[in-house]
Amino acid sequence: MRITQRKLNGIYVFASIGVLSLVWILLLSHSHTINHTIGSAGFRVRVSEDQLNYIFSLVTTSIIFPTLFFWSIRNKIWQGRRAFKRYFLILSVRKEMLDANFHDERYLTERVVRIPKIRIEFDSKDAHSGRLIIRDSIEFHERLSKATFTPALKGFLVENVYQSHDGDYWIYGFISVHQLKSSKFESLNDYLNWAQKNTNKYQLRIDDRLSFDLKHTLLVGATRSGKTYGLIGLLLQMLNKSVAYELFFADPKNDQLKKIGKWISPQNAAFKTKELIDLIHKVYLRLEEREQEMAEATLNRMTGDYRDVNLNPILLIFDEFSSFINVLDTKEKKIVLGELTAIVQRGAGAGVFLFLLMQKSDATTVPTAIRSNLLLKIVLGNAPTTTYTTTFESSSDIPFFKFSQGQGVLLDDTMSVPRVVSFPFLRFLDEYNNGQKAPASLWKR
């Protein structure tokens, strides 16, 4: 039988209390005999039941109090419910690690095993997400890098694994299963109030956990994955910021983005091939103008970007880029790709961004010079491995969950591995689809 030192210490404590309790009961039941024996020996001392109770209480308290004190400190009892949740999660992890032979064999001769040091940190008071942190070692390094602790973290799912900066610990980021459910909003105001919480005018909110600074973005999702609704939510946030977003819309499919573009900015919306080429060139010229604006606005600054000088963001939103680029001749393609490459390479600091929407990520469609600068990448729905590989350049770190509409995985330049994302469910959009409200009224700034 394998037993840890911590469990053995607990056995010692409870065994000691049990023995003391038994001795105390025996003394109480034979107190008369004990006093008679003491008197026969010539001692004028009598032991009362109150004295026995006091001695027993003193001894047991000296055992129990230090145990409870150190347990309380170790588990941060002042955090209330989170402390007990953390304790039972760690207990479950220790049991699973023991069963999986994550212990030091050198201690088997003493019939005691040692499990690597474990701790759990929650991200916030609601304890919906956090990190399981396990001490690394040469012996367990390889196994810990591939281990999944989702079965041990009851009610939570591990979505990413990485090492601490000093390399001493493996860290397993986990989220509550309840966090996988998309938030639901019945009104536009409720959604906008939620979106503006903890974000500034240059940031957009995706779900209850994730917000991001504006950056070049790739959004991939098959039909009915929630891609269009996710984009609609982001556009509504842009239109209701305190700074005016300058939006350009390109929709070679002549579909939903065309309608939205006409409602928001008809002069900056294109759908036919020649119009699309001209629109890209128009955004490229805006980039050159913006660079001049930046040069003038930052004359007295050593560092900074468009946010530091309060310039408005400029975004080119391009739906199904592959269906456009594949119909161009060689000369047109060279010009278009050259201008788009300039936008993604030079645009971030100037506040000019490219949003690409695609049904699947094709390595031959988007050149490496563009793809490598799309710092925010999102795949919605249950995509094939090839989609994850071409989008994230690897599929090994993808959390394998069954995603519902609007759910998927996200990776940006601040993350080491992809994380689960759940775009909100905008119920109020039904009012604009069933004739109750005019769709154009939704997009008024």
pLDDT tens-digit readout, 82-108: 888 887 788 788 777 777 777 665 554
Q: How many residues does the chain have?
A: 445
Q: 73 falls in which pLDDT band (50, 70, 90)? A: confident
pTM above 0.75, yes or no: no
Q: Which of 48, 74, 100 is the last residue of a domain?
A: 74
Same domain flag for 87 and 51:
no
**CA distances (Å), origin 270, targets 182, 248, 292:** 32, 8, 26
Q: Please check whether residues 288 and 433 belong to one and the same domain.
A: yes
Q: What is the pLDDT of residue 109?
A: 46
Kindly state whether residues 197 and 313 are assigned to the same domain: yes
pLDDT at 82: 80
The domain spanning residue 261 has which CATH number? Answer: 3.40.50.300
Tell me if 215 sits within 8 A of 349, measured CB to CB. Answer: no
Whether residue 305 sits in one domain with residue 264: yes
- Last residue of a domain, which of 177, 199, 227? 177
The count of domains in the chain is 3
Q: Are residues 249 and 216 in the same domain?
A: yes
Structure tokens at 377: 């990448």
| 96 and 46 assigned to the same domain | no
Q: The tokens of 273 are what?
A: 């091939």
pLDDT of res. 175: 85
Q: Are residues 346 and 380 in the same domain?
A: yes
Asked whether residue 147 falls in the same domain as residue 212, the answer is no
Sign of the C-alpha dihedral computed for residues 276, 282, 284 and 290 taken in this order: negative
**Parent domain of 22:** 1-74
Question: Which string of DSSP letters, residue by residue, matches 173-184?
Answer: EEEEGGGGSPPE
Pairing of strands 407-411, 419-422: antiparallel
More confident: 371 or 217: 217
Residues 220 and 164 in one domain: no
Which one-letter amino acid corresponds to residue 347?
A: G
pLDDT of residue 390: 84
Beta pairing class for 211-213 and 203-205 = antiparallel
Lookup: tokens for 340: 């788009």
pLDDT of residue 15: 73
> Distance between CA 53 and CA 14 in Å, rounded?
19
| 178 pLDDT above the threshold of 60 | yes
What pLDDT digit, counting tens, does each position of 257-307 carry?
889 999 999 999 999 999 999 999 999 999 999 999 999 988 888 888 999
Band (35; pLDDT cuts 50, 70, 90): low
pLDDT at 48 over 80: no
Type of residue found at 439: P
Question: Which residue, 147, 177, 207, sits at the end of a domain?
Answer: 177
Please, are residues 368 and 187 in contact by the beta-carbon 8 Å criterion? no
User: pLDDT tens-digit profile of 111-166?
Assistant: 666 788 888 888 888 888 889 999 888 888 888 888 888 888 888 888 878 888 88
d(CA 94, CA 372): 41
User: 355 and 264, same structural domain?
Assistant: yes
Q: Are strands 314-319 and 352-358 parallel, antiparallel or unpaired?
A: parallel
DSSP characters for 111-174?
Answer: T-BBPPPEEEEESSTT-SEEEEEEE--TTTHHHHHH---TTTSTTEEEEEEEE-TTSSEEEEEE
Are 199 and 172 contained in the same domain?
Answer: no
Taking only the tens place, the pLDDT of each residue in 322-375 is 888 888 999 999 999 999 999 999 999 999 999 999 888 776 778 888 988 999
Query: Is the model's pLDDT at 40 over the cut of 70?
Result: no
d(Cα 194, Cα 185) in Å, to the nearest integer? 9
One domain for residues 353 and 209: yes
Which residue is it, tokens 């001493």? 168
